[in-house]
Amino acid sequence: MSFWEKLVNAIGNIAGNALSAVVEAIRTVFEGDPETRRKVAFSVAIIALSAKMAKADGIVSEREVEAFREIFEFPQDQAKNVARLYNLARQDVAGYEAYAERLSALCITCAANCTVLEDVLDGLFHIAKADGLIHEKELNFLSHIGAIFQMSETRFEQIAARHVSSGGDPYKVLGVSPSDDFPTIRRRYRGLVSEHHPDRLISRGVPKEFHVIANERMAALNAAYAAIEKERRAA
């Protein structure tokens, strides 16, 4: 039995607050398997919050559905189980704030600017921009999610800058200042590359399908560093 089937069976024919049932199912069904629990918690966070984001925006485009599948590939025979979780989150009376708070606690317990929760935000940004534009309601939603995840304003701006389709500020992408000297910027860049290398995701319990986002993130970091290096050489 797949973990999706275990999770859906544990939820049963619930009514009322779906969130409480889902969180309790993750907590109990996978209690003796922390690695699977992390993976399930991360996956449910992406499913539930993307469903809430779609509800906030009011429009779900075909391209957004495709973007969801790009970062969250699942066996075709599990499509109904995943769809049920998505619809539960979308129809649940609990607001997205409650989902973010409870699911962030399940993903991992750590200090502010948690890398696992940054992975979740990156996935949500990827879906939001799939139709070519991050709408104001989506950006407000993502900003509030970042605050609930205890992301600093600077860190959130850094994440958002990676997803600007063109003209993104390379200094914001790397989280540095134009007044920083180049050795400082280079150290920051190398630290980010090490922190966000796709191989690191496995140890954080992130499903392998999420490597699409990891590769996209690395490309943004490399492009930002190259732009700053070119600018400094020309100066």
Name the residue with tokens 């990891």. Answer: 214
Question: Scanning the structure block, which residue is given the tokens 């890398």?
Answer: 115
Buried b (16+ CB within 10 A) or exposed e, 81-103: bbebbbebbbebebebebbbebb
Share of the chain above pLDDT 90, in %: 17
Residue 13 confidence (pLDDT): 56
How far, CA to CA in Å, does 63 sit from each of 6, 44, 57, 140, 186? 30, 21, 14, 21, 36
Q: How confident is the model at residue 104 (pLDDT cuts 50, 70, 90)?
A: confident
Q: Residue 187's pLDDT is what?
A: 96
| Whole-angstrom distance, CA of residue 28 vs CA of residue 7 | 10
Q: Cα–Cα distance between 100 and 41 in angstroms, integer? A: 12
**Mean pLDDT for the stretch of residues 3-15:** 68
Identify the top-confidence range among 101-110, 163-172, 196-205.
163-172
Compute the distance between CA of residue 208 and CA of residue 205 in angstroms, rounded to an integer. Answer: 9
Residue-level pLDDT at 197: 79
User: Tens of pLDDT along 121-165?
Assistant: 888 898 888 777 788 888 999 999 999 888 888 889 888 988 876
Place of tokens 């970062």: 71
pLDDT tens profile 18-59: 777 777 778 787 787 777 777 777 778 888 888 888 877 776
How far is the CA of 35 from the CAs of 38, 40, 193, in angstroms? Answer: 5, 9, 24
Integer Cα distance of 128 and 142 in angstroms? 9
pLDDT at 111 over 60: no
The pLDDT value given to residue 231: 92
